[in-house]
C-alpha cells in the first residue's frame, strides 16, 4: 500500500500552558506522529509555539510585534530541542524547516523546498515546519500557521491537513459563546459569509480563530485535498479518524 502523506498543524494554544510549552501535550503529539509513521503515513508537522517558548526565557510584552519577533528568535531553537528530545525517545530524527511567508509565491522556491521535504521523508526524518517569524511577520500578526499549513499540504503534495486546535470541531456558531452550538461533522461547502467573518482567536497566543481554518479548508477542497479539524488537547478523535478509520468527533472537510 502506498504511503499516505499528511500534514499535522498544531496551534499555539495547544502547545502552551501557563505561559510555557505544554510538554505533556507535545509528547502526546510526538507519540501520535510515531504511531502514524508506523502505520501507513508520512507525516509533516507544522508547529507554532516559538514565541511561547521564547517567553519562558524572557518575558517581554507580547503585544508588540517587534517583541514577538525577538521572542520567536529566542524560542524557535528551544522548541526544536524539545521536539528532538521527544522524538529521540522513539529513535526518530526530526528537523527544522523555516519558511518566509512568501515562499509559496515562487515556483522556484517551492521546488527547492519540496526537494528538501521529500528527501527528509525518504530518510524517515520528520520535518517540523514553522514560519520564520523573526523576518516575516504575517503569521505572527494573523493566521497562526493555519494558512501556511494549507500551502504546505497543497504544494508538498499531501492528501490531508489535520489541524489540532483548542476547539474540537467546527460548529454552527462559536461554542465558547453559545451553549447550543452544534458540531458540523462533515463539511463539503463553506459559505462566503463564513469565510469573511471577523477572525476570533481564543487566547493571547492564538491569532487565527476559526476563519483562517475555514479559509484553509476552502483552499484545500478547491485543490482536491481535504482537512480534518480536531482537538489538540485530547487526541482520541484524530487517532480514531486516522488509525481506525472511524469518524467519532472532529470536522471532516471533505472534497465533493
Ligand atoms: P488554535 O490556536 O488552536 O488554532 P484559535 O483560537 O485560533 O485556535 O481558533 C479556535 C477558536 O475559534 C475556538 O476556541 C472558538 O472560540 C473560536 N470559534 C469561533 N467560531 C467558531 C465556530 N463556529 N466553531 C468553532 N470554533 C469557533
Which triple of cell numbers denotes residue 133? Answer: 517569524
Q: How far apart are CA 34 and CA 214, in angstroms?
A: 28
* Atom number, ligand 1, closest to the C-alpha of residue 164: 3
Q: How far apart are CA 29 and CA 31, in angstroms?
A: 5
CA of 251 to the centre of ligand 1 (A): 13
What are the DSSP calls for 84-95, one per residue?
A: HHHHHTTT--EE
Candidate of 173, 202, 217 to mutate for ligand 1, largest count of ligand atoms within 8 Å of Cβ: 202
> What would the pLDDT profile of 189-216 be if each residue is shown by its tens digit?
998 888 887 655 554 444 458 999 999 9
Give 60 Cα–ligand 1 centroid separation in angstroms: 26
The protein residue whose alpha carbon is closest to atom 25 in ligand 1 is 170
Q: Do you know the residue count of the chain?
A: 256
- Cβ atoms within 10 Å, residue 66: 10
Ligand 1 neighbourhood includes 194 CB (under 6 angstroms): no
Cell of 192: 462566503
The structural domains of the chain, ordered by start, are 4-253 (3.40.1160.10)
- Tell me the percentage of the chain whose pLDDT exceeds 70: 94
Q: How far apart are CA 142 and CA 17, in angstroms?
A: 21
pLDDT tens digit sequence for 144-175: 799 999 999 999 999 999 999 999 999 998 89
Q: What angle do CA 220, 221, 227 make, to 5 degrees?
A: 65
Q: Measured in angstroms, how far is the CA atom of residue 120 from the centroid of ligand 1?
A: 32
pLDDT at position 101:
81
Whether pTM > 0.85 for this model: the answer is yes
Q: Dump pLDDT digits (tens) for 130-147.
A: 999 888 777 666 667 999
Amino acid at each position: 500500500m502506498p504511503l499516505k502523506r499528511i500534514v499535522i498543524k498544531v496551534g499555539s494554544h495547544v502547545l502552551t500552558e501557563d505561559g510555557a510549552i505544554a510538554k505533556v501535550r507535545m509528547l502526546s503529539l510526538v507519540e501520535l506522529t510515531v504511531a502514524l509513521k508506523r502505520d501507513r503515513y508520512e507525516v509533516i508537522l507544522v508547529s507554532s509555539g516559538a514565541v511561547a517558548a521564547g517567553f519562558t526565557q524572557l518575558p517581554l510584552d507580547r503585544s508588540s510585534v517587534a517583541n514577538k519577533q525577538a521572542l520567536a528568535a529566542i524560542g524557535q531553537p528551544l522548541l526544536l530541542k524539545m521536539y528532538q528530545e521527544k522524538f529521540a525517545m522513539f529513535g526518530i530524527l526530526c528537523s527544522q524547516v523555516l519558511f518566509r511567508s512568501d515562499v509559496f509565491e515562487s515556483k522556484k522556491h517551492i521546488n527547492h523546498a519540496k526537494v528538501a521535504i521529500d528527501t527528509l521523508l525518504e530518510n524517515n526524518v520528520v520535518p517540523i515546519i514553522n514560519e520564520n517569524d523573526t523576518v516575516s511577520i504575517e503569521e505572527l500578526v494573523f493566521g497562526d500557521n493555519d494558512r501556511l499549513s494549507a500551502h504546505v499540504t497543497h504544494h508538498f503534495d499531501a492528501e490531508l491537513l489535520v489541524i489540532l486546535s483548542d476547539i474540537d470541531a467546527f460548529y454552527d456558531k462559536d461554542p465558547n459563546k453559545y451553549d447550543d452550538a452544534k458540531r458540523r461533522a462533515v463539511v463539503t461547502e463553506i459559505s462566503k459569509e463564513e469565510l469573511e467573518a471577523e477572525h476570533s482567536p481564543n487566547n493571547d497566543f492564538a491569532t487565527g480563530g476559526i476563519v483562517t481554518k475555514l479559509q484553509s479548508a476552502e483552499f484545500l477542497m478547491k485543490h482536491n485535498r481535504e482537512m480534518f479539524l480536531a482537538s489538540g488537547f485530547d487526541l482520541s478523535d484524530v487517532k480514531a479518524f486516522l488509525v481506525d478509520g472511524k469518524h467519532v468527533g472532529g470536522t471532516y472537510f471533505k472534497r465533493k
